Structure 1
Amino acid sequence: MTNSFGAFKESKSNGYSRSEFSVGLSSCLGLSLDSSGDYKILKIEGNEFGGRKVSGEIFTLKNNSWRKIGEHPRVTGNKVSAMDSLAFIRGAFHWIGFYSKTYFVVSFNISHEVYGEISLPEEICLLNTRKIDISILEGMLCAYSNTYDQGIRTFKVWVMRDYNLKESWNAILSIEDRYLLKAMPKYRFANGEILFWSAHLRGMDINFRTQRGPFTLLPRGKFQNGFTYTESLISPRLLI
């Protein structure tokens, strides 16, 4: 965040002043502008590996305060990563939710503050793995998986060409590499090549790559990651 957003609201608790905003090791955030022109931040807590389900929270810039939101009626857990931001498309944030070992996409409309569900690709649903996630690629909802089977590690990417239509999931990338520990799609070039962040077992190498190999225009480094974004034409300062 920048100082354009001012200070978060504080409250008194047991005589001590504390910020209402806190981020845990499994917190994932998303920032967007709703239909009324108000900036909002959504915070979702992950609990994929146990622990109680924690209600999501939302911050509105106009009110300068945080509040809890209602829970999804079916979701028993959220699969989110503190390393990433919530995927945003069609006026809604998206992340992976699960119920009774069934994974699906949870959506949360930022203007109306209502939940929705979107099915994952059939092939992902059949995988015996938790290494699945979603992002936005070329303006479309994107799902990807990192699997390991009989000594082969496979990174696969799908995009949903027609939003919220299960039949429109289309596989656009599949890479087999025995040393590929994890990969995340970041951008799709005009020629169809996909830029992805990857962690390699060989030499513990972490860098950006495409199907053709390392992408040398971006720096290498253990903590390098990246986000694709579109700059807003509305300054948050105008809303304070």
Structure 2
Amino acid sequence: MEEILVDILSRLPVKSVVRFNCVSKFWNVLISQSYFTKKHFNHAKNQASSQKLLSLHCHPKDADDNRLYFYSSSLSLVQLVKDYRIVDCPPNSNPSYGALIYCSCDGLFLIGIWNKRYVEQPKVLLIWNPSTRDQSTLLPHSRYYYSSDSSSSSSDYEDGDDNDLRSTYGLAYDSISDDYKVFRLVLSFDGQNENEIFGLKEGSWRIIDETSSSGMTDCSMYSGGEFLPFVDGSFHWLGVSSKKLYVVSFNISSEVYGEISLPDFVCSLAISRWSKHKIEVDVGVSVLGGRLSFYYKDDKFFNLWMMKDGPGAWMKLFTIPSSRIYRVIPTYMFSDNQVLLCFKLDWKIMSRFVYRLISFGLFGLTNQIWPLDCDDIDIDAITIDKDIGIVYNGIVYTESLIYPGLGLGV
């Protein structure tokens, strides 16, 4: 009987399952079990209705408002379902000074929140499940956190050339150890290795033994500015070594670094513009349809490749004009090979974002504004209402009931 009940409940949307928490103590215990949340998530991954796009609003205008506001929308091409999600921030943070979504994994989001301006590291790191709304866990900082938390002038911060240590974070599930892990990638130009990993079961940070050289990397080359794409058990980012651009990987189970070559044409174009640890053209990596993808944008065109049969085997998907666009971020691939691209329209931090669907196949390329079919890319209201203000580029996630306990196992 219990097995039948589990099978029925695992097919329901998260919102419906959460309501059963109040039915009885037995149902509450059943729904919170790890085997049930994983079974429910595995079913939700194949349901289009469970795929959502989460965006962070602009920071609160009221300095006393210690909350973060998110905007969740359906990925349905037929009907756009909109919803608001709110996170109460810890007392030692101030979202008006800055907040950032680093990544999403299994419906969980890793969020950084600052408490002062012009510092590289957020004061608070927390894991939050927007589907269950009230669940969030505060993560401890590593002992290296304070070495990168020094204040600097605003000009130094914005230019970035004087910062000798920067970092970003990724969250992923390690199937070998059955644990969720946070990876901290430190970009130290003095060559010192301070990359760290945090296992939620252990509840502590540790330095990763450097088993192979990952070369010089630069924060400006990350996909989406800050994201570390995770696919096939590894995080990925772009690096440069011996004047060659390539993809660096880090496997969270074996803790081994690797290298993946890029198309020769892209490497030669990017390196020809190499200057002061920066690559002036827009390049990055992301995950589309469960595969690693690579994009390259110059003043005229945006090009997108996808990994085909193995490391280094790239298949070009399409090329589209990009002359009036500041940046293009690959966001999601639908089952019918439609790709959702996020267009940043200008260089400003508080910029507008437009989502456009690109379809490719035997009949060439077609594109349309998503979710509205409109030819004018400069229109204001695409995925948001005008009265809610600026919204940052979104991250696609699958609604889930998963929530790992800190130091208590999954």
Measured against the shorter chain, the TM-score band is 0.7 to 0.9
Per-residue deviation, 1:216 = 3.3
* 1:79 corresponds to which of 207, 211, 218: 218
Structure with bigger gyration radius: 2
The answer to which structure has the higher strand fraction is: 1
* 2:206 corresponds to which of 47, 59, 67: 67
Q: Equivalent residues in 2 for 1:78-157 (5 A)?
A: 78-80=217-219, 81=222, 83-128=225-270, 129=273, 130=279, 131-148=282-299, 153-157=300-304
Per-residue deviation, 1:104 = 0.8
Per-residue deviation, 1:44 = 0.9
Per-residue deviation, 1:6 = 5.0
* 1:40 corresponds to which of 181, 187, 191: 181
Change beyond 3 A, Cα 1:21–1:88: farther
The residue type equivalent to 2:409 in the other structure is L
* 1:56 corresponds to which of 192, 195, 202: 195
Change beyond 3 A, Cα 1:147–1:64: same
Q: Contact 1:43 / 1:58 at 8 angstroms: preserved in 2?
A: yes
Distance in 2 between residues matched to 1:63 and 1:202, nearest whole Å: 41
Match of 1:228 in 2: 396
The residue type equivalent to 2:384 in the other structure is P
Distance in 1 between residues matched to 2:324 and 2:234, nearest whole Å: 36
Per-residue deviation, 1:184 = 0.9
Distance in 1 between residues matched to 2:354 and 2:149, nearest whole Å: 27
Q: Contact 2:213 / 2:257 at 8 angstroms: preserved in 1?
A: no
Distance in 2 between residues matched to 1:19 and 1:45, nearest whole Å: 10
Paired residues in the alignment total 225
Match of 1:170 in 2: 315
Q: Contact 1:8 / 1:19 at 8 angstroms: preserved in 2?
A: no
Distance in 1 between residues matched to 2:353 and 2:235, nearest whole Å: 28
* 1:216 corresponds to which of 371, 386, 395: 371
The answer to which structure has the higher helix fraction is: 2
The residue type equivalent to 1:215 in the other structure is W
Distance in 2 between residues matched to 1:112 and 1:77, nearest whole Å: 22
Distance in 2 between residues matched to 1:71 and 1:10, nearest whole Å: 18
Q: Output the TM-score relative to the length of structure 2.
A: 0.48
Per-residue deviation, 1:116 = 1.1
The CA RMSD over aligned residues, in Å, is: 3.2
Per-residue deviation, 1:118 = 0.9
Residues 1:239 and 2:405 aligned together:
no
Distance in 2 between residues matched to 1:227 and 1:21, nearest whole Å: 30
**CA-to-aligned-CA distance 1:118-173 (integer Å, 9 cap, x gap):** 1112222122352211010001110001112xxxx211100001231x2x311112
Q: What residue ranges of structure 2 are gaps of 5+ in the alignment?
A: 1-126, 129-134, 151-156, 158-165, 274-278, 359-366, 373-382
Distance in 2 between residues matched to 1:127 and 1:161, nearest whole Å: 22
Q: What residue ranges of structure 1 are gaps of 5+ in the alignment?
A: 12-17
Query: Which one is further off, 135-144 or 69-78?
Result: 69-78
Per-residue deviation, 1:101 = 2.0
Q: Output the TM-score relative to the length of structure 1.
A: 0.79
Per-residue deviation, 1:107 = 1.0
Change beyond 3 A, Cα 1:7–1:163: same
Per-residue deviation, 1:42 = 0.3
Distance in 1 between residues matched to 2:339 and 2:265, nearest whole Å: 20
Distance in 2 between residues matched to 1:192 and 1:122, nearest whole Å: 25
Q: Contact 2:353 / 2:393 at 8 angstroms: preserved in 1?
A: no
Per-residue deviation, 1:71 = 3.6
Per-residue deviation, 1:10 = 7.4
Distance in 2 between residues matched to 1:160 and 1:191, nearest whole Å: 18
- Structure of greater relative contact order (alpha carbons < 8 Å, 6+ residues apart): 2
